[in-house]
Structure 1
Amino acid sequence: MKVVILAGGRGTRISEESSLRPKPLVTIGGHPILWHIMKIYCSYGFHDFIVCCGYKGEYIKRYFVRYGLQQAAVKFSLSQLNENGQTKDITDKESTENWKVICANTGLETLTAGRILKIKKYIGEDEEFMITYGDGVADINIAKLISFHRERGKILTISTTRPEGRFGAISIDKKGNVESFKEKARRSQSYVNIGFMVANKKLFDYLGDGNEMLEREPFERLVADGQMAAYKHPGFWSPMDNIHDREYLEKLWSDGALWKIW
């Protein structure tokens, strides 16, 4: 099963970093958040990725071109030079990932539905595939997610969670008296879409001409047809929307990283 990662947006809310590189290449613990996401899927045996590139997409392509050399031990045989002036042999292949990666050019201004529509040609006729965002990590159980999707039999399953509250939850009576106060209560939060989606190929029929955000009209059409299920993830999830989120994730990484399930 292929994993489609939406990685083409401009990342304007983290412009301190995204002005220099695409948001999926912003690092946590010395590795791009894109790498962290791929490692989550890899830990469940999924190694086939389609990265939907857009803004500064050439940086993402360059990252994968160089990745093997950066991670592995490399031996250079200077006595047997090739036409480029040298030969090299990767001697520590176990330290590199067994990934197949397609970096698809999906356009600079393309909306999320259009990005998915543009990678249709890479998906098999009856193939299920997964979709997620290139800026969020979770300790989600991908195997349970896929089982849930197949049990429900819908076109699309999204993963949801109640995020950690950023504000206290207050209950007020009719007279204006505070009945209860819960500081950052997770149970009081609404469920939100966290990505980590599973779909069958019928999803493409709901994407229109691609000039829509996936999360708006296509989602609404799926819901209207009773073709969307929601997997409730009870564990950790965090997006990296801004520089404060990055600092938060960086601290978590140094403390052990709840999403490090590999």
Structure 2
Amino acid sequence: MLSPEPADVPIFVLCGGQGSRLGEIAAMRPKPMLDIGEKPMLLHIMSCYGRFGFRRFVLCTGHRSEVIGSYFANYAALNSDYTVDLARNTISYHQRERLPDWEVTVAFTGTGVMTGGRLARAAARYLGDAGHFGVTYGDGLTDADLGAELRFHLAHDRIGTVLGIDPPSPFGQLTLHEDGTASFVEKPRQTGQTASGGFFFFRRPFLDYLSPTDSCTLEAEPLARLSREGQLRVFRHQGYWSCVDTLRDREEVLALWESGAAPWK
């Protein structure tokens, strides 16, 4: 059997949480819809996949799902100039940029539902006959080669693959010098440790590890059981990775974008 190409592998994006750590700016729209530059963060995340040929996305929504749905339902109008013929009730779009060749499904998976429950509900409806699928969150950015991660996943016989990253320290690091001065590095990477980067690929049997119940949490029993059974492999990545979980995280990625130095671009 031929291995699937990236275009054949659906990517499920978990974007139904409330983003409570971001305060008021996430109250009226889901965290993945907060802007980085002129585009919502969700579009940046999808582009992390799109550059490697992935084109099928299932957005597992919850909190303020209508904001995500409206954005993609009106994507052409929001990202193009257009002319409206009022008498004929027609619209002609004039593209300012090439629109991505993506198939995007907006799947409402309930409010107050944990990540595993969202994934189970969306996959039951939209995985189709695909033998492999990707999963990520609506707040992670990376310059990892996700096409290479898929190839790694397909090359071994385990059920799951996770992107392994050097986690950033929550604290700045001081190096003390003999003269009493110090050098400061803001949130250095903790080499020698490995954490989940939140970019996964799974074989279809992973569905048996999930439950569509509200309380099923992907990061708890499903992944813990997969690990206990020796069914989870790690694809190491030592480049850029960030999780936009707090206002400080958001300020950091905005600064990178505005400087023109965003590694995930």
Cα distance in 1, alignment partners of residues 52 and 71 from structure 2? 23
Structure 1 residue aligned with 2:155: 151
Residue 119 (str. 1) matches residue 95 (str. 2): no
Q: What code does the residue aligned with 1:259 have?
A: W
Q: Distance in 1 between matches of 2:241 and 2:113?
A: 26
Aligned residue number for residue 71 of structure 2: 63
Q: 1:29 to 1:94 in 2, by over 3 A?
A: closer
Residue range with higher mean Cα deviation, 39-48 or 117-126: 117-126
* Superposed CA offset, 1:150-198 (max 9, x none): 1222111111201332325699xxxxxxxxx995542446322121111
5+ long unaligned stretches in structure 2: 1-8, 176-182
Aligned pair count reads 246
Q: Of the candidates 245, 255, 264, which is equivalent to residue 259 of structure 1? A: 264
Distance 1:189 1:251 in 2: 28
Check the 8 A contact 1:16/1:243 in 2, yes or no: no
Asked whether the equivalents of residues 157 and 230 of structure 1 are also in contact (C-alpha less than 8 Å), the reply is yes
After TM superposition, the structure 1 = structure 2 runs for residues 178-197 of structure 1, keeping only pairs within 5 Å, are 183=185, 184-188=187-191, 190-197=193-200
- CA-to-aligned-CA distance 1:203-246 (integer Å, 9 cap, x gap): 11011454321111111110111111111111001111011111
Tell me by how many angstroms 1:16 deviates.
2.4
Over 3 Å counting, the alpha-carbon distance change for 1:93 and 1:202 in structure 2 is farther
1:20 to 28, 31, 45: 28
Paired residues for 1:58-97 under 5 Å:
58-78=66-86, 80-81=87-88, 86-92=89-95, 95-97=98-100
1:41 paired residue number: 49
Q: In structure 2, the residue corresponding to 1:186 is in which secondary structure?
A: coil
State the secondary structure of the residue aligned to 1:119: helix
SS at match of 1:196: strand
Q: Residues 239 and 124 of structure 1: is their aligned pair in 2 closer, same or farther, counting only changes over 3 Å?
A: same
Deviations 1:25-47 (A, max 9, x none): 01111211101001111111111
1:202 to 205, 209, 232: 205
**In the alignment, what sits opposite 2:244?**
240
For structure 1, list consecutive stretches of 5 or more residues without a partner in the other structure. Answer: 172-180
Deviates more, 1:228-237 or 1:116-125: 116-125
Q: Kindly provide the amino acid, as one letter, of the partner of residue 106 in structure 2.
A: C
The higher radius of gyration belongs to 1
